[in-house]
Amino acid sequence: MLVRPELPKDVADIKLVLCACFPTDAEARLVDLLRRAGKLTVSLVAEVEGCIAGYVAFSPVSVASGNAGVGLGPLAVQPAHQRQGIAASLVTASLAACRELGFGWGVVLGDPNYYSRFGFCTAADFGLSDAFRGGPDFQVIELIPGHIPKGEGLVRYAPEFDMFA
């Protein structure tokens, strides 16, 4: 398996992965919108035997003070390739890429049992919330020590996410 940045030739295969993993094409449309808007901060694929088997994206998020972070999503792995560590490799590599870009914090809306292994914890514990009413599924990670915004309330995603609100 090779984890690498998305290339223009991967766009159609990324859409196939997303459509295979979610009940609608909303996530695929979201990624297309983010890509067109230049808001895919990190966009990685997992290649297995020359085929795109998985995908992860990060896009900008911010709080009222203007403190900018990144939001993970979507993360998807072709059903035939699930439970082989591909998603974990994508998350690990993408978090490292976000750190290298200088982002101090990130968020995800997902299963705490899964994402806690990477260092994500409940965002509400830091006084952060999301517009999607994620509750304990809305989590934050500190990418650079001391950079999680505390008590800042609503974390705003790029407007392309409004289709999910």
Question: How many structural domains is the chain composed of?
Answer: 1
Q: Convert the pLDDT of each residue in 38-95 to its tens digit.
A: 999 999 999 999 999 999 999 999 999 999 999 999 999 999 999 999 999 999 999 9
Question: pLDDT at residue 163 above 90?
Answer: no
DSSP summary character for residue 24:
S
Q: Convert the pLDDT of each residue in 74-89 to its tens digit.
A: 999 999 999 999 999 9
Say what the alpha-carbon torsion angle 61, 56, 108, 120 is, to the nearest 10 degrees.
-120
Say what the alpha-carbon torsion angle 77, 69, 146, 92 is, to the nearest 10 degrees.
20
CATH number (domain holding residue 154): 3.40.630.30
Residues of the domain holding 112: 2-164
Closest by alpha carbon to 64, among 156, 161, 165?
Answer: 156
